[in-house]
Amino acid sequence: MAKTLQELESEIMDLKKQMAEYGRVKDLMDIWKLHSKYAHLYQMFKRSEIPNLFAQKTPGVTLEIEESGVYEGIEGVKKVFAGKFHENKVRPIPGFMAAHMVVNPIVEINKDRTRAKGIWFSHGCVSLPLDDNKLTAAWCFGKYDMEYVKEDGEWKFLKLAYRGIYMTPYHKGWLEDPMPWSIRDVDSLDFWPDKPTTHHLPYHPRRINAFDVPPIPEPYE
State pLDDT tens for residues 121-173: 999 999 988 767 788 999 999 999 999 999 999 999 999 999 999 999 999 99
Give the closest residue to 63 by CA, choosing from 137, 182, 146.
146
Phi, psi at residue 108, to the nearest 5°? -115, 125
pLDDT value of residue 209: 95
pLDDT above 60 for 187: no
Amino acid of residue 18: Q
Helices and strands (H and E) in the chain: how many: 2, 7
Give the closest residue to 118 by CA, choosing from 30, 20, 221, 215.
215
DSSP class of 31: H
Give the closest residue to 145 by CA, choosing from 198, 215, 218, 193.
215
CB 185 within 8 A of CB 151: no
* Alpha-carbon gap, residue 38 to 90, rounded angstroms: 18
- pLDDT tens digits, 68-103: 999 999 999 998 888 766 655 556 678 888 889 999
In terms of Cβ atoms closer than 10 Å to its own Cβ (0-12, 13-18, 19+), residue 8 is exposed
Amino acid of residue 13: M
Mean pLDDT over the full length of the chain: 88
What pTM value is reported for the model?
A: 0.88
Phi, psi at residue 123, to the nearest 5°? -100, 150
Domains of the chain by range and CATH? 5-191 (3.10.450.50)
Peptide bond into 92 cis (omega under 30): no
| Cα 134 off chain centre by | 28
